[in-house]
Amino acid sequence: MAHNHLLPTNLIGIPAAYFASTDFNLSPVPLHIDGVAEMNASLLRAMDQLGKADAPSLFMQYMRGMFDLDTPPAPGKKRNNRASYLRLLRGWFFDSNRPEGAVMKGWAESRFGLIPLFHRQPIPDVHCPSYRAYVAEAMNPRFHNNGIFSQLDLLYEYAQYFLRRFGVGSGKITLYRGANRLTDDHQILQKISKRRWVARNNSLVSYTSEKERASEFGDSLLRIEAPYEKVLCFPELLPGALPSSESEYILLGGDYLSEIIDL
């Protein structure tokens, strides 16, 4: 199936078209963003000595030190204006169409070659005004003063480590998404049967592990099996630092085999 929302290059060592495909989701391979594990080997070695309950605090401590996130605010300022992965995530959880969401979608585009389908409005291609508006927001210097893409790189590497070491099951997670208008964030590519579709998701997209919670957000409900390699963040990864009531997972997008289920 043609995909007009892919870049020819990325930093994961496999073609973006394969990463975005249902074939990848069915038979995923472990992924790393180029150089991130090697440059932060000391963090991963230290986490090898910790259990599930202690790994998150070490990661957040490492991020504070690596990116100087505890610097006191400048005189006359209410807060430290250094860009922070936590600030981006909190903005995303509040509304993924905020500027913070644009920055995160820009990271997914840069690292994985996934151009967004939607940010505030549909993005049909890279030549349209809506793409230019998204890029302007994604590159806002307010969020690019502290290696913010490198922070998200480390978050992804940590998520992969956490899931591979502490996750259960077959390397996939059953997730749900409610929607009123599937075409807002999805393109329905194929209807295999009445209840099984191939849906194209935005470059970054939120799902939940709780069916009941998903049903509060739309009159249609999608169920997918997301491989670990598509997961960027979820509440258990950073306990106490992010909202947890909706059990929200932030996934890298592409084409997912989706089951339409009854509410």
pLDDT digits (tens, 9 = 90+) for 61-72: 999 999 999 866
pLDDT score, position 179: 76
pLDDT score, position 37: 96
Q: In the block, which residue shows the tokens 């978050």?
A: 155
Domain residue extents for the chain: 16-260
153-163 pLDDT, tens digit per residue, is 999 999 999 99
Q: What's the chain's average pLDDT?
A: 90
Residues of the chain with pLDDT under 70: 1-3, 71-80, 181-186, 262-263
pLDDT score, position 64: 95
| Predicted TM-score of the model (pTM) | 0.92
